[in-house]
Amino acid sequence: ERWVYMNGEYRRKAEATVSVFDHGFLYGDGVFEGIRVYEGNVFRLREHLERLYDSAKSILLNIPHSIDELEEAVVEAVRKNGLYNAYIRLVVSRGKGELCLDPAKCADPQMIIIVDQVKMFPQKLYDQGLKIITVPTRRNIPDALNPKIKSLNYLNNILVKIEANQAGVSEALMLNSDGYVAEGSGDNIFIAKGGILYTPPGYVGALDGITRRAILDLCDRLGYEVKEQPFTRHDVYIADECFLTGTAAEVIAVVEVDGRPIGNGQPGSISRHLRKEFRKLVTVDGVQVYP
Ligand SMILES: Cc1ncc(COP(=O)(O)O)c(CNc2cccc(C(=O)O)c2)c1O
């Protein structure tokens, strides 16, 4: 039986409900984080919380807790559920309001912490690599709804997921309005060419992924050169390797994009190496829940 943290108290899953007048439900007015627990370690919890507060600040949503209090609440929620390997969904919604957009009419933001089992890609996709496509749906332009804000507004991503489903693939890439590769529906992208790694810089318009940052740190430590510069679908097609990074995906190789085999069509040596090293990182880099 799972416990859900809601605004300072725990409720059973069945009682963990929000009002139909909650603007998170009505308009996607809120922010969230997806975090993983590995063997009792909440991977990079502080970085996730800092991003949550940045996203909230950007939409002028006040989180009624300090970041230290929230860190404590997350650790406590994991402990309360007695899980060592889990997926945490942190949600802050604008809260109950009137049937109009005005956030000023919402008095009590909802602070929710869900702790549950992890849903991942099947192991065979890690061994064989993903076949993905690029889709016509572009990533939100930064001067509309900035893709760096991890908001509850995931329709841009869901539309991409629908196009992936229609094409019978498990992930799809969005371009930005200039035609440069931005990211997947729920993950960041890296390619490798001639031993050098490339990943889109922030200004292309993508979520500043925590896993992406962890891979950049790993590349630094392992001596892989990484260039944060824009690239196109062509650059992906002719790359030696391609892989995606994200809390759910972790590090997963891409072996085909729009029908073009990437490299020799097998997961590449760099992505295999980085995935191995990443798996070592996740049990130590973060906050331990249990003594
Ligand atoms: C649009 C987008 N881009 C990149 C990432 C990777 O960011 P992190 O490395 O910080 O996770 C995300 C995060 N995507 C994400 C996070 C947690 C769960 C799920 C899910 O598909 O259930 C998806 C995302 O939603």
- 121-132 pLDDT, tens digit each: 899 999 999 999
Tens of pLDDT, residue by residue over 190-246, are 999 999 999 999 999 999 999 999 999 999 999 999 999 999 999 999 999 999 999
Closest ligand 1 atom to residue 214 Cα is 9
For residues 172 and 45, is the Cβ–Cβ distance under 8 A?
Answer: no
> Tokens standing for 77?
């929620």
Burial 204-220 (b: 16+ CB within 10 A, else e): bbbbebbbbebbbebbe
User: Is residue 164 within 8 Å of residue 171, measured between CB atoms?
Assistant: yes
Q: What residues are labeled active site?
A: 150
User: Best mutation site among 188, 199, 274 for ligand 1, i.e. most ligand atoms within 8 A of its Cβ?
Assistant: 188
Residue 82, amino acid: G
pLDDT at site 119: 81
- 121, 148, 187, 251: which to mutate for ligand 1, most atoms within 8 A of CB? 187
243 membership: H or E segment, kind and range: strand 241-246
Q: Distance (Å, rounded) from C-alpha 54 to C-alpha 72?
A: 19
Question: Two tokens at 234?
Answer: 């062509």
Q: Complex ipTM, two decimals?
A: 0.95
Gap between the Cα atoms of 19 and 17, Å rounded? 7
The mean per-residue pLDDT over the stretch 145-174 comes to: 98
Whether 97 shows a pLDDT value over 90: the answer reads yes
pLDDT reading at 256 higher than 90: yes
Which ligand 1 atom is nearest residue 34's CA? 17
Nearest atom within ligand 1 for CA of residue 35: 17
pTM, rounded to two decimals? 0.97
Distance 205 CA to ligand 1 centre (A): 14
Among protein residues, the one whose CA lies closest to atom 20 of ligand 1: 248
- With cut-offs at 50, 70 and 90, classify the pLDDT of residue 118: confident
Q: Is 1's pLDDT higher than 90?
A: no
90 CA to centre of ligand 1 in angstroms:
13
Around 152, how many Cα atoms within 13 Å sit in the side-chain half-sphere?
A: 22
Instruction: Tell me the mean pLDDT in the region 170-194.
Output: 98
